[in-house]
Chain A
Amino acid sequence: DAGVIQSPRHEVTEMGQEVTLRCKPISGHNSLFWYRQTMMRGLELLIYFNNNVPIDDSGMPEDRFSAKMPNASFSTLKIQPSEPRDSAVYFCASSLGQGMSEYFGPGTRLLVL
């Protein structure tokens, strides 16, 4: 069975550019999560969706970040414009629902120069 799929796996961009990260959750999972991992702050939840609806985006750092889930099998996290401090590993995870285990994708390693 395919796990959570993320693309790209690596992204290098210049400050000011738009970055779009993509995620395909595990089929049948109705909760999707976006996390960011840095050495300084560890794992931070940015936003999560239940049944394609954003439930809590309190972790989104600022207006430069936006996330969408147009259907049950696809989500994007967009940063516009990107800044060097956005450099991190971004994980997408999905689960069957409240209280259930989250399964993580391989992550996207983002470097903003």
Chain B
Amino acid sequence: AQKVTQAQTEISVVEKEDVTLDCVYETRDTTYYLFWYKQPPSGELVFLIRRNSFDEQNEISGRYSWNFQKSTSSFNFTITASQVVDSAVYFCALLTGGGNKLTFGTGTQLKVEL
């Protein structure tokens, strides 16, 4: 069975602080995909990144970076120099290679304050 755990329910930071959102996944499959989505207060779900299980390179996109570590089954997401517009719920999700169904974590509510 697949499982995604986002242990941090809510995080509050002050603008310009760095913040890391944790994601731990469980699967017995050797081929799988990991995703992060952002859900701002307006409610839509915005795709941020997709990473396959064979690519452990970290990725950076502007202020966003992702750290994928198979050894600890983690796919953590860091926002550098956070901004108020980063305030949202962030979901980590897992898709195993043989299927087409995303398993979502419960989400982390990030609040960035001035």
Contact = CB atoms under 8 A, between A and B. Distances in A.
A93 B104 CA distance: 14
Interface of B: 33, 35, 37, 43-47, 50, 52, 91, 95, 97, 99-102, 104, 106-107
Interface residues of A, number: 25
A contact face: mostly helix, strand, loop, or mixed: strand
A105 B47 CA distance: 11
A97 B97 CA distance: 12
Nearest to A98: B100
Contacts of B101: 45, 48, 56
Contacts of A45: 101-102
A11 interface: no
A45 B43 CA distance: 17
Contacts of B43: 89, 106-107, 109
Most buried by A among B45, B52, B107: B45
